[in-house]
Amino acid sequence: MDRTQLLQHFETLAETPEAPAKLRKFVLSLAVRGQLLPQKAEEEKHARWEEFAAKLSHPDSQDEDEPPFLIPRAWRWARLNDVADYRAADKVAPSEIKADAWVLDLEEIEKDTSRLLQIARFAEKQSSSTKAKFLAGDVLYCKLRPYLNKVVVAPQQGFCTTEIVPIRSRGISEPAYLCLYLRSPDFVSYANSKSYGMKMPRLGTEDAESAWIAVPPPPEQRRIVAKVEELLALCEELETRQAAALEHRARLVRSALDHLTTVNGARVCDPQHVARRTESEKRSNISLLSDGCGSQSRAPQDDFHRHAAFVMREFPQLTAALEDVSALRQAILSLAVQGRLVPGECDSVPSSWRSVTVGEVADHRLGKMLDHQKNRGTPRPYLRNTNVHWFRFELSSIKELRIEDDELENYELRRGDVLICEGGHGIGRTAVWESNETGVVFQKALHRVRLCKHLNGYFFAFCMKVYADARILEQYFTGAGIPHLTGKSLGRLKFPLPSLAEQHRIVAKVDELMRWCDALEARLTAAQTTATHLLDASLHQILVG
């Protein structure tokens, strides 16, 4: 694929992941290499250009600091200091700035796009720091964190923070061309490589002044700027269209999932409602809708199966976004704890489910207090908050604590125990311990729930995840700052309990559907990776030949 073909297929390529951003960089790279437009011999006859070109011969290829890429024969390599004054701006005290003067700060320039987000007056800011004065036409370059790529041509006179450097053209370089060169991937890479400071990296003045700038004749600079503006506007348009298409697909996905989690046109509400129903409601086989949530009759099973079949058949065509698969996972778990995932596959129906609390069907307790000075006994591996994630454990970093042998019975984990994060980041995260390893204990930041014989640990974990996603679990948290799920709160947590046989069927069905989701995620990831590689390969081939 050559440059012409690529530009012809601009819109198609923009549909690939991150394409608009990559195409912006590609356009700027082509522009500063002289590969965006054909050269015109008559433009080399510009009198001032001929004088400038005569002074600057092509750099020696053996020079250690040689230019970063090849340019057309008529162009010249120059140092930034040859074409612009990096120290042109005067420093001004706040007392010298008028109330209606424009004052520009870093956050008012959008990264990568060279777009001014606002023009604010000094009276609105009343800043007390020294400013740099700039003129209309100066190139305003943000030297702080150059990877943010904030560069803009000043449309009018004003003042700016000293972290922004006003660069004034010496005449041969058009400000708009200089601006796009400083935004190009090559210059950004150079600036990053020369930056100093770990937390607040900056490009130093000497390194900036000695940077190579590829300079075409002024008429060509103006043509390049016009073409770049045209193509970057197209990138913005394509980005907007891409966002609209993604939103449209997201609406389709939400609509499809609504079919699964809606009864007779009404949204299924709090999944705990099944645990709140009265015995008379259970005997009348009323649906899982909570009071005031819509129709009180169960949707026909054939409608449910039709909607479910539609989602499973069409979902891969409806989305290319991994986050939509996460939404599907949530819907699957929601259906599971509402008793609507395996209708017709068992004798039990949700009207027979019981309302129970954790304290009624399980033994639960917090783990061992971690105190290096007071803990005595044998060092044993223990689990902490960071080891427990939703439905899985991260065991790459396991620490040890000392524990007496007579305490081991209270804190040792057994296969089938459920662990829940008690507080802080990740509060409520739940996973089932499947290891037969002996001597593993748990810290006080975790609850261990040891279930009765009538409860499947994974079904309980599904309930916890649904309650967390629906923000129902928050009702049981305590603490104004860092939230905690105390043992008392956990003990009174209500959830619906079907028969053990139905729990097993539900867990098996969820496992099957989650494997299907895994396969879909893998397919989407592979498709995105392939598309990205194809775009990158095409752009690389054009840039390097």
**What CATH number is associated with residue 483?**
3.90.220.20
The answer as to whether 19 is a domain residue is no
pLDDT, residue 274, reads 46
Cα distance between residue 210 and residue 414, in whole Å: 67
DSSP code at position 110: E
Cα distance between residue 499 and residue 86, in whole Å: 77
Q: Are 224 and 177 in contact (CB under 8 A)?
A: yes
The token pair that represents 416 in the structure block: 């089938």
- List the one residue out of 544, 545, 543 whose CA is nearest residue 23: 543
Q: Which residues contact 402 (CB under 8 A, 6 or more apart)?
A: 375, 376, 377, 378, 379, 380
Cα distance between residue 453 and residue 124, in whole Å: 68
Q: Can you give the three-state secondary structure of 325-380, one letter per residue?
A: HHHHHHHHHHHHHCCCCCCCCCCCCHHHCEEEEHHHHEEEEECECCCCCCCCCEEE
Cα distance between residue 527 and residue 521, in whole Å: 10
Task: Tell me the one-letter amino acid at 256.
Answer: A
- List the one residue out of 239, 221, 243 whose CA is nearest residue 115: 239
Both 280 and 409 in a single domain?
no
Select from 454, 477, 497 the last residue of a domain. Answer: 497
Long-range contacts of 307-315 (CB under 8 A, 24+ apart): 307/259, 307/260, 308/260, 310/256, 310/259, 311/256, 311/257, 311/259, 311/260, 312/516, 314/256, 315/253, 315/256, 315/520
- Residue ranges in the chain modelled with pLDDT below 70: 1-17, 57-64, 256, 258-314, 316-318, 320, 341-350, 539-545
Cα distance between residue 391 and residue 484, in whole Å: 20
- List the one residue out of 432, 540, 441, 422 whose CA is nearest residue 486: 422
Both 108 and 133 in a single domain?
yes
The answer as to whether 342 is a domain residue is yes
HSE-CB of 536 using CA atoms within 13 angstroms: 8
The answer as to whether 29 is a domain residue is no
Q: In what helix (H) or strand (E) does residue 421 lie, and over which residues does it extend?
A: strand 418-421
Strand residue runs (E) in 184-308:
212-215, 262-263, 266-267
Q: In what helix (H) or strand (E) does residue 74 lie, and over which residues does it extend?
A: none
Q: Which residues contact 483 (CB under 8 A, 6 or more apart)?
A: 423, 424, 427, 474, 477
Both 57 and 205 in a single domain?
yes
Both 60 and 202 in a single domain?
yes
Q: Bridge-partner residues for 168, per DSSP?
A: 85
Both 477 and 511 in a single domain?
no
Both 67 and 210 in a single domain?
yes
pLDDT, residue 265, reads 41
Both 259 and 190 in a single domain?
no
At residue 240, φ and ψ (nearest 5 deg) are: -65, -45
Looking at the 3D structure of the chain, how many domains does it have? 3
Task: Please calculate the CA angle 89-93-99 and round it to the nearest 5 degrees.
Answer: 100
Nearest-10 Cα torsion for 81, 83, 87, 91: -170
Strand residue runs (E) in 106-188:
109-110, 115-116, 131-134, 139-142, 151-153, 158-161, 164-169
Q: How do strand 151-153 and strand 354-357 relate by DSSP bridges? A: unpaired
Select from 455, 475, 497 the last residue of a domain. Answer: 497
Would you give the end-to-end CA distance of the chain in angstroms? 11
The answer as to whether 28 is a domain residue is no
Both 328 and 418 in a single domain?
no
Both 405 and 519 in a single domain?
no
The answer as to whether 231 is a domain residue is no
Task: Please calculate the CA angle 50-224-72 and round it to the nearest 5 degrees.
Answer: 50
The token pair that represents 308 in the structure block: 């479910």
Cα distance between residue 484 and residue 425, in whole Å: 10
The answer as to whether 11 is a domain residue is no
Q: b/e per residue, 390-400, with b = 16+ CB within 10 A?
A: ebebeeeeeee
Helix axes 301-318, 218-260, angle to 10 degrees: 160
Both 313 and 369 in a single domain?
no
Both 331 and 454 in a single domain?
no
What is the SS3 assignment for 160? strand
The boundaries of the domain holding residue 370 are 355-497
Q: Which residues contact 386 (CB under 8 A, 6 or more apart)?
A: 394, 397, 426
Both 69 and 143 in a single domain?
yes
Q: Which residues contact 108 (CB under 8 A, 6 or more apart)?
A: 116, 117, 118, 119, 120
At residue 151, φ and ψ (nearest 5 deg) are: -140, 140
The token pair that represents 319 in the structure block: 């989305």
The answer as to whether 226 is a domain residue is no
The answer as to whether 238 is a domain residue is no
* pTM beyond 0.85, yes or no: no
- List the one residue out of 502, 486, 466, 346 whose CA is nearest residue 421: 486
